[in-house]
């Protein structure tokens, strides 16, 4: 073996004549006599400039080694002139055992040692001859006792990657051999000095435009039986090598290939295509253990299917381009050695499961219906798809315009098309399992001919996400009973703040009730100052009419908030509780957050009006009453009117002004500071909250039935509200947190 290795290495030379720096350093170190565990035997140089140093290494071997490692191991260390790759270490023994962590080489002998799991660029920073030799000795020592491959390490690959990459369907072998297709189209992609790239697809997934290039390649699949890892011998270079690789794993490749190709002779496969064999290798840690993982490798032939079948004796090629099957006979294994192959490195296409895996999440198949795929919605949806989250239906009636592209996930090529449909195309190009199942170009509030389709999308969803930033849409979603819980996400006018309003899973706190509590938070929390006040100063005209204006909002703010929203919505979907969530981005783009657990929903019916509020507001009224006992007290109700749905929202309460008259059996509300207080509320909520009515208390022992004075006050209130065609609202707060409401009339 030594003489053969010298022939492989090239011309023998004196160690002092070595020209590569690392080879010189190693030879000098060994000749220096300070390292007792290695002896320098010889040196050589190949025609390409590679230099070799042959060394006898002393190895620590136990009395009962697991593998046949000797106390002295001869190795050749090869150094490339460029130092681009690490020194190659080869065992000189012809009987060196089959063990893990070896380098895959073109020939089985000499066997190469795999010393590092980090890139050579990292190793090179601290490489010294002493450290390198110790690394080799430790490799032999740990291999001898069977500890080189730790129990917590991944299993070794059957082969090592080449420069040709093949993307295969994510579920290609998910259902076992019987379900794996015997034919796939292979589409060439990019080609460069660094590698070639191909994509394998099922026959029904290739478009008409792709079929022409697909005819040049044809893939077929095989599955082996489980085998222990680390049994690498050499890189297969021809069909016989591949056959010999699969035979120990229970796959007679040549026989299976013969049966399959004779079936193809019926005319359902392009005989002029190059053949790609995709082979599934289940791997176990030891022969006695069940498979842990699997390798998938592919081998592309240089010759065509027609030529391969003729060489192997499956058929006879005819002058007209067809073939005639030959009866009987085994495949010609000698000819199989003349059919060259190149190793391809398969990679699974991205599906929902793998997308979630690489993002560190659990995959989700939840059916999600989205209302609005504008700037925020488009970015959130694609981020969630990239994270393996959801199966999507998109509803939006808008079309992409040029100015939208500045902040939208879609590009200029989608201008003039419906946002929903283009987002479906984009989303289904992210993962292999087409996560966007439907795109509905419709207005949720007036779907017209799409009404049944919209209602079906809402009804069948597991979650409804509203990115419309539209109060009418949110109110509509809140009041219709169709479908599951709703979550609304939107940005404030200058996009500094992100808001998420999430209903509970039972919809006990609907979206409109969350909206009112959100407004109340804006009024009472100083950290949210300016949330709806500081509107953007810049308005950009993107077309000709007076309404063709857009805000000069930075895209980076939308991107920051879309990332936050994607993470938050994933968490919200798994939390059955309602929530009000707000994030604020500072000018330096640092972000602070605000979270509130909403109060329970309260509703009462009065004639044809509904009054909606929440339990926190009811408790606040009871507390204000209790604070002023034994006197009566009162104040102003703040909220909103939804005249379309005949709903009065009571969102906040203003306590008794300081100039009010509070007596045991009489209350007359004052007005000091009241106008300014109401104006401040309207300013902080951008006019969403306003004065809606009056409240006052009754003392202990007195019912909440209205007195004659109360009726007079209500009559006055009705006159005041009638000027704006709004219903009067009054609350009487009594003992035991008993509150009686009156809307648009008093009995």
Could you read off the pLDDT of 381-399 as tens digits, one per residue? 999 999 999 999 999 999 9
| Superfamily covering domain 364-596 | NAD(P)-binding Rossmann-like Domain (3.40.50.720)
pTM of the entire predicted model: 0.79
* CA atoms of 601 and 651, how far apart (whole Å): 11
Q: Is the peptide bond before 630 cis (omega within 30 degrees of 0)?
A: yes
194 has pLDDT over 90: no
pLDDT grade for 155, boundaries at 50, 70 and 90: very low
71 has pLDDT over 50: yes
500 has pLDDT over 90: yes
pLDDT higher at 300 or 153: 300
What is the pLDDT at residue 714? 95
Could you read off the pLDDT of 635-689 as tens digits, one per residue? 999 999 999 999 999 999 999 999 999 999 999 999 999 999 999 999 999 999 9
- Asked if residue 467 lies in contact with residue 373, where contact means CB atoms within 8 angstroms, the answer is yes
What is the pLDDT at residue 227? 73
Please state which of the ranges 25-39, 287-301, 440-454 shows the lowest mean pLDDT: 287-301
- Asked if residue 243 lies in contact with residue 254, where contact means CB atoms within 8 angstroms, the answer is yes
* CA atoms of 370 and 476, how far apart (whole Å): 14
523 has pLDDT over 90: yes
For the residues 70-86, what does the mean pLDDT come to? 90
For the residues 307-331, what does the mean pLDDT come to? 82
What is the pLDDT at residue 6? 41
pLDDT grade for 476, boundaries at 50, 70 and 90: very high
What is the pLDDT at residue 177? 43
Could you tell me if residue 701 is left (phi over 0), alpha (psi between -120 and 50 degrees) or otherwise beta? left
Could you read off the pLDDT of 29-67 as tens digits, one per residue? 999 989 999 999 999 998 889 999 999 999 988 777 888
Max mean pLDDT range (1-5, 108-112, 305-309): 305-309
What is the pLDDT at residue 651? 97
Residues 6+ apart with CB under 8 A from 166: 186, 198, 199, 200, 219, 276, 278, 298, 344, 345, 346, 347
What is the pLDDT at residue 249? 85
For the residues 459-479, what does the mean pLDDT come to? 96
Percent of the chain residues topping a pLDDT of 70? 88
Dihedral (Cα; 20, 25, 30, 33), 10-degree rounding: 150
Q: Active site includes 632?
A: yes
Per DSSP, the three-state class of 29 is helix
What ranges in 209-273 are assigned the alpha helix state H? 211-214, 239-246, 253-264
Please state which of the ranges 13-17, 253-257, 294-298, 740-744 shows the lowest mean pLDDT: 294-298
Overall fold of domain 601-743: Cytidine Deaminase; domain 2 (3.40.140)
Could you read off the pLDDT of 527-550 as tens digits, one per residue? 999 998 755 555 544 334 444 445
DSSP 209: G
What is the pLDDT at residue 705? 95
What is the pLDDT at residue 321? 72
Work out whether strand 315-317 and strand 293-304 pair parallel, antiparallel, or are unpaired.
unpaired
Look at the block and give the residue holding tokens 């070799």.
Answer: 52
Please state which of the ranges 83-92, 147-156, 667-676 shows the lowest mean pLDDT: 147-156
Dihedral (Cα; 49, 53, 54, 55), 10-degree rounding: -160
pLDDT grade for 233, boundaries at 50, 70 and 90: low
What is the pLDDT at residue 549? 44
What is the pLDDT at residue 319? 80
Could you tell me if residue 142 is left (phi over 0), alpha (psi between -120 and 50 degrees) or otherwise beta? alpha
Please state which of the ranges 45-54, 205-214, 273-282, 409-418 shows the lowest mean pLDDT: 205-214
What is the pLDDT at residue 385? 97
Q: Which residues pair with 290 in a beta bridge?
A: none
**Given 632, 682, 694, 719, the catalytic residue:** 632
Domain boundaries defined on the chain: 2-145, 164-349, 364-596, 601-743
What is the pLDDT at residue 83? 87
What is the pLDDT at residue 207? 67
What is the pLDDT at residue 269? 74
User: Phi then psi for 620, rounded to 5 degrees?
Assistant: -65, -45
585 has pLDDT over 50: yes
What is the pLDDT at residue 4? 46
Average pLDDT, the chain: 87
695 has pLDDT over 90: yes
pLDDT grade for 86, boundaries at 50, 70 and 90: confident
């Amino acid at each position: 073996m030594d003489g053969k290795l010298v022939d492989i290495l090239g011309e023998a030379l004196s160690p002092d004549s070595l020209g590569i720096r690392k080879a010189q350093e190693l030879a000098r170190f060994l000749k220096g006599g300070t390292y007792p565990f290695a002896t320098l035997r010889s040196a050589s140089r190949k025609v390409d400039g590679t230099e070799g140093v042959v060394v006898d290494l002393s190895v620590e071997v136990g009395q009962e080694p697991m593998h046949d490692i000797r106390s002295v191991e001869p190795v050749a260390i090869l150094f490339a002139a460029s130092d681009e790759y690490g020194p190659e270490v080869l065992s000189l023994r012809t009987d060196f055992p089959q063990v893990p962590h070896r380098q895959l080489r073109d020939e089985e002998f000499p066997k190469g040692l795999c010393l590092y799991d980090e890139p050579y660029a990292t190793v090179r920073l601290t490489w010294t001859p002493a450290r390198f030799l110790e690394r080799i000795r430790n490799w032999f020592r740990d291999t001898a006792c069977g500890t080189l491959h730790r129990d917590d390490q991944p299993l070794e690959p059957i082969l090592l990657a080449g420069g040709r990459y093949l993307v295969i369907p994510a579920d290609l072998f998910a259902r076992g051999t019987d379900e794996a297709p015997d034919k796939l189209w292979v589409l060439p992609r990019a080609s460069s000095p660094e590698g070639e790239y191909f994509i394998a697809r099922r026959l029904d997934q290739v478009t008409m435009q792709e079929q022409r290039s697909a005819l040049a390649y044809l893939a077929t699949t095989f599955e082996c039986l489980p085998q222990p890892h680390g049994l690498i011998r050499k890189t297969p270079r021809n069909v016989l090598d591949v056959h010999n690789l699969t035979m120990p794993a229970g796959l007679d490749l040549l026989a299976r290939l013969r049966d399959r190709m004779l079936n193809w002779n019926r005319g359902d496969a392009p005989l002029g295509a190059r053949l790609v064999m995709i082979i599934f290798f289940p791997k176990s840690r030891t022969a006695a253990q069940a498979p842990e993982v699997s390798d998938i490798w592919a081998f592309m032939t240089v010759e065509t299917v027609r030529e391969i079948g003729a060489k192997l004796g499956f058929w006879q090629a005819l002058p007209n381009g067809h073939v005639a099957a030959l009866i009987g006979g085994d495949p010609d294994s000698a000819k199989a050695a003349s059919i060259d192959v190149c190793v391809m490195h398969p990679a699974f296409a991205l599906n929902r499961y793998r997308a979630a895996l690489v993002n560190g999440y659990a995959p989700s198949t939840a059916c999600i219906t989205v209302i609005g795929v504008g700037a925020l919605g488009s970015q959130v949806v694609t981020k969630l798809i990239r994270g393996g989250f959801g199966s999507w239906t998109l509803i939006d009636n808008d079309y992409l315009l040029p100015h939208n592209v500045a902040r939208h996930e879609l590009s200029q090529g989608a201008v003039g098309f419906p946002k929903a449909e283009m987002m479906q195309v984009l989303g289904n190009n992210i993962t292999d399992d087409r996560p966007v199942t439907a795109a509905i170009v419709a207005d949720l509030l007036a779907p017209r001919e799409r009404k049944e389709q919209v209602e079906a999308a809402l009804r069948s969803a597991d979650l409804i996400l509203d990115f419309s930033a539209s109060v009418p849409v949110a109110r509509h979603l809140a009041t219709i009973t169709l479908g599951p819980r709703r979550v609304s996400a939107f940005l404030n006018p200058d996009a500094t703040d992100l808001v998420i309003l999430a209903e509970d899973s039972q919809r006990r706190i609907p979206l409109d009730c969350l909206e009112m509590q959100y407004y109340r938070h804006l009024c009472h929390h100083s950290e949210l100052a300016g949330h709806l006040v500081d509107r953007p100063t810049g308005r950009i005209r993107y077309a000709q009419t007076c309404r063709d204006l857009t805000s000069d909002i930075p895209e980076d703010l939308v991107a920051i908030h879309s990332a936050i929203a994607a993470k938050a919505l994933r968490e919200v979907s798994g939390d059955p509780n309602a929530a009000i969530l707000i994030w604020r981005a500072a000018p330096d783009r640092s972000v602070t957050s605000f979270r509130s657990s909403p109060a329970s929903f309260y509703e009462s019916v009065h004639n044809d009006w509904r009054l909606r509020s929440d339990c926190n507001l009811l408790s606040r009224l009871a507390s204000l009453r209790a604070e002023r006992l034994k006197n009566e007290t009162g104040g102003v109700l703040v909220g909103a009117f939804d005249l379309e749905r005949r709903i009065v929202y009571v969102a906040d309460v203003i306590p008794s002004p300081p100039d009010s008259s509070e007596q045991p059996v009489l209350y007359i509300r004052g007005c000091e500071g009241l106008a300014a207080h109401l104006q401040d509320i309207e300013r902080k909520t951008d006019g969403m909250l306003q004065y809606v009515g009056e409240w006052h208390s009754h003392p202990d022992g007195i019912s909440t039935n209205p007195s004659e004075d109360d009726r007079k006050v209500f009559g006055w209130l009705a006159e005041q509200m009638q000027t704006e065609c709004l219903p009067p609202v009054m609350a009487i707060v009594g003992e035991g947190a008993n509150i009686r409401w009156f809307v648009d009339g008093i009995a």
